[in-house]
Amino acid sequence: MFWRILWRLLYASRGRLALAVIAVASGAAVCAALLNLNLDATDKLTREFRVLGANVVVSAAPGSDVTETIDAAATKEIENLHLPEIVGVAPYLYLSAQARAGENTAPVIVAGTWFDEVKLMNSWWKVDGSWAEARDNRTDCMIGEAAAARLGLVPGKTLKVIYGDREATLRVAGIVTAGSSEDNQIFISLPLAQELGHQATRASLVQITARGSAAEIEDVIRRLSSALPGVEVRPLRQLAQAEGRLLERIRGLLFGTVILILALSSLGVLAAMAGLALERRRDVGMMKALGGPVRRIMRFFLAEAMAIGLAGGICGFIVGMALSEWIGERVFSVSVTPRLIVLPATLVLMVVVSLAGALPLRLLGRVRPADILRGE
């Protein structure tokens, strides 16, 4: 009997209820799109930040006995922590050496590192030629644009790197344009740099790319400091804070818009339900005259509001997924993947909005059967 009466109520007021469903569906579409963007697009943006380079540096602590280098095994300890925020770890050993190519000789800074991690963390570098790939590559090097110009080098040419009483002959795999100090450096494999500099198992510093908000990056720094006693872990403030501020502003904008849309949707349902309450006064009066308790009568109308929320939430979710993909491509330039977890969240929000908009129906509980029967 309950479902039969509910169906008749829905069918009898289908025109007015359709407007309420449209209002809820419109709000649900925007909310679902923004929630999906918050889950997917911002996560992909944090992944894209890795191309901006390192934002955390591990180096020798001030006042330590060995002030210039740290144990390169620190990189293994960092990887063993399995912190999900860390997306790249690259040790560097810097040597002030001489480079010779044919008749040209110039002082250069040689940076021994892991080529694969440097490529991951600095994929925005412009490279003329190709990347040197293997970590233990003792035959190839990468050279900065300014250093290559001083030595007259192009990809495929060879040069000698001389440090003290040791030297290495290397082929230029690629010329790097980074727009910073890297343009004056020569990048070689870390094992080769350690051999040239008599610095076995040592590194000048470790660069780390960590993703997340400013608070999340600060938490990574605290955990690294606890796990690596005797070294200094510090953020590159400008980059880390810029990433964190951007993500926090995006999330704040998304959630603020969601709250505004929910309020507007609730007002739309409120307007529809207010008109419905006036139409239902006679029906409610008759039900109460026949002995129907107010609680059971209100149950019909609450079920009606829930049906509006569910119908609008499902329709809005479908439209919202397409909308989030469009916004992701046009605004954030990333491909947004629909997240099914947004569906239950959208349905719950829309049901709550519909129930909040159904507040005028509480006035029907005050209807007196005698007034209705007298036609008042």
The range of the structural domain enclosing residue 191 comes to 55-235
Q: Note whether 132 and 192 are same-domain residues.
A: yes
Among 147-156, 237-246, 336-345, the minimum mean pLDDT is found in 237-246
| Whether residue 361 sits in one domain with residue 251 | yes
SS3 label, residue 83: coil
175 and 221 belong to one structural domain: yes
222-274: per-residue pLDDT in tens? 999 998 888 899 887 555 555 556 666 777 777 778 788 877 777 777 777 66
pLDDT digits (tens, 9 = 90+) for 165-177: 899 999 999 999 9
In a domain? residue 267 = yes
Question: Is 119 within the bounds of a domain?
Answer: yes
Q: Are residues 126 and 34 in the same domain?
A: no
Q: Are residues 41 and 130 in the same domain?
A: no
Residue finishing a domain among 207, 235, 263:
235
Domain count across the chain: 2
Are residues 115 and 200 located together in one domain of the fold?
Answer: yes
Which of these ranges, 35-44, 57-66, 241-250, 341-350, has the smallest mean pLDDT? 241-250
Same structural domain for residues 72 and 195?
Answer: yes
The answer to whether residues 169 and 291 belong to one domain is: no
Chain mean position to CA 112: 32
Quickly count: other Cβ atoms within 10 Å of residue 105's Cβ.
Answer: 15
pTM passes above 0.75: no
Residue 187 lies in a domain: yes
Q: What is the mean pLDDT of residues 135-159?
A: 93
Q: What is the DSSP string of 85-140?
A: TEEEEEEEEEEEEEEEETTEEEEEEEEEE-HHHHHHHTTTSEEEE-----TT-SSE
235, 261, 276 — which closes off a domain?
Answer: 235
Last residue of a domain, one of 175, 210, 235: 235
Q: Is 267 in the same domain as 213?
A: no
Are the C-beta atoms of 320 and 30 separated by less than 8 Å? yes
